[in-house]
Amino acid sequence: MKLLEERILKDGHVLGENILKVDSFLTHQVDANLMREIGKAFATYFKSTGITKVVTIEASGIAPAIYTAEALGVPMIFAKKSKNITMTEGILTAEVYSFTKQVTSTISIAGKFLNRQDKVLIIDDFLANGQAAKGLIEIIEQSGASVEAIGIVIEKSFQEGRKLLEEDKRKVVSLARIQKFENRKIVFMEADA
Ligand code: 5GP
């Protein structure tokens, strides 16, 4: 997605070996216009696949996921990272190792929001080693729903995530794919949409 790549080049900052900071438009401050275009791009790609729910993980997945859900005309559900006393029954959980926080946490979704008729599109802000996506797939499949595909805003293709998911026969659709960081410069490869 050209608009997204241009924005990453303009406002993204490479930190260390493998982290991209995009807090001015995606992970902290959010550019709603860009998110709307991202939502439309995913919706165009998936419009004929019969998606019934969009699922993401808090917090940074929520912005692209809500616009994707709006464009597809379906609900969005986000997995929670901390236990909530109002979530009392039928909780589906999975363990996820966080790439940026370097801790394992239990993520959860109330089972009542997913059923075996659902065809789910997972949306997340980044794909690094694929642990967040793996945890979401685990939770969604516990409910009997099926995972249609994983839509990623920014994929760091030099990390293991895509390979891990494709080995598991999952479809990954990324709007920006970063091949490498070269002297803190971002080098893209061809994106999926
Ligand atoms: P994974 O589970 O694929 O290893 O990592 C994906 C999660 O880690 C995303 O949900 C995102 O929040 C975070 N993440 C991974 N890489 C980056 C990065 O380079 N920059 C930022 N801001 N977040 C990242």
pLDDT digits (tens, 9 = 90+) for 154-165: 999 999 999 999
pLDDT digits (tens, 9 = 90+) for 79-125: 999 866 676 778 999 999 988 888 999 999 999 999 999 999 999 99
What is the spatial order of strands in the sheet that 172-182 belongs to? Answer: 76-79, 53-57, 119-127, 146-156, 172-182, 185-189
User: Binding residue per annotation — 115?
Assistant: no
Which CATH number goes with the domain that contains 151? 3.40.50.2020
Distance CA 158, CA 82 (A): 30
Query: Taking the CA atoms of the chain, what radius of gyration do you get in angstroms?
Result: 16
User: Binding residue per annotation — 128?
Assistant: yes
For 76, the domain range is 1-187
What's the domain count of the chain? 1
**Cα–ligand 1 centroid distance for 121 (angstroms):** 18
pLDDT surpassing 70 at residue 152? yes
Q: Which residues have C-beta atoms less than 6 Å from ligand 1?
A: 19-22, 27, 60, 99-100, 124-132, 156, 161
Model pTM score: 0.97
Distance CA 154, CA 177 (A): 6
Residue 127 belongs to a domain: yes
